[in-house]
């Protein structure tokens, strides 16, 4: 006999709603030739539907310790790549430096849509990274300046002290940019667009790089 509480949990998880009653239409045959154009259209649609943090994505990397994922914000998208920012000495920064590969996943449940980006990683030059850093609010810059002096935080008092010191540095030197701040571009080899359906006959369209152009391929649900 199984654990009744676990059985109840499984039943509850299965009963949770996934998508709203009305879903947007998507015809892969009408998709544009470039994945960036379709992505920006879907992003505008998500924003218009009231999706919060529609520009947030899960960054997936891998290092010697194994796979790792975290949520961060898309900074830009274009033919040169999909831009994100994270310090070079962070775990994902070190992983991207070592492997040269990464993936992004965007998920908008209110529209039953998902976009997956996989490809090589290029680090932008210091000038571009500085522009990105200086565009952040003071509080965000102070948090980045604190970094992670030790792997484990011993208590709030330790963090409060170093963060206040970092905020003072930002106030005293508004042009201060930490050398570890990095802007990265994921240059995609594949971009997949997923449109969910209530009957689970989901639509999947993959753009796969072929030389200087893109191949568009329907994938099985």
- CA 220/CA 185 separation, integer angstroms: 29
Between β-strands 76-78 and 183-195, what pairing exists: parallel, antiparallel or unpaired? unpaired
Extents of the domains making up the chain: 28-124+182-221, 132-180
Question: Would you tell me the crossing angle of helices 126-134 and 138-146 to the nearest 10 degrees?
Answer: 130
pLDDT, tens digit (0-9, with 9 covering 90-100), for 50-72: 999 999 999 999 999 999 999 99
Topology of the domain covering 28-124+182-221: Pnp Oxidase; Chain A (2.30.110)
pLDDT, tens digit (0-9, with 9 covering 90-100), for 199-210: 999 999 999 999
Contacts of 135 (CB under 8 A, 6+ apart): none
- CA 144/CA 217 separation, integer angstroms: 41
> What pLDDT score does 198 carry?
95
Beta bridge partners of 183: 85
Q: What is the pTM of this model?
A: 0.93
Cα dihedral across residues 123, 141, 60, 48: positive or negative: negative
């Amino acid at each position: 006999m199984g654990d009744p509480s676990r059985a109840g949990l499984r039943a509850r998880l299965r009963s949770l709603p996934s998508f709203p009653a009305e879903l947007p239409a998507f015809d892969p045959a009408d998709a544009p030739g470039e994945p960036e154009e379709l992505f920006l259209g879907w992003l505008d649609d998500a924003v218009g539907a009231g999706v919060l943090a529609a520009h947030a994505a899960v960054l997936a990397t891998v290092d010697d310790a194994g796979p790792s994922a975290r949520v961060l914000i898309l900074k830009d998208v274009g033919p040169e790549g999909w831009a994100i920012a994270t310090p070079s000495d962070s775990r994902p920064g070190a992983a991207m430096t070592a492997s040269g590969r990464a993936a992004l996943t965007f998920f908008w449940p209110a529209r039953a849509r998902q976009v997956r980006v996989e490809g090589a990683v290029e680090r932008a030059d210091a000038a571009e990274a500085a522009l990105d850093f200086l565009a952040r609010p003071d509080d965000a810059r102070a948090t980045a300046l604190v970094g992670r002096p030790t792997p484990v935080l011993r208590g709030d008092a330790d963090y409060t002290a170093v963060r206040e010191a970092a905020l003072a540095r930002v106030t005293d030197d508004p042009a201060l940019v930490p050398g570890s701040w990095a802007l990265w571009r994921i240059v995609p080899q594949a971009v997949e667009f997923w449109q969910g359906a209530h009957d689970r006959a989901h639509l999947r369209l993959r753009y796969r790089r072929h030389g200087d152009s893109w191949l568009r391929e329907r994938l099985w649900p």
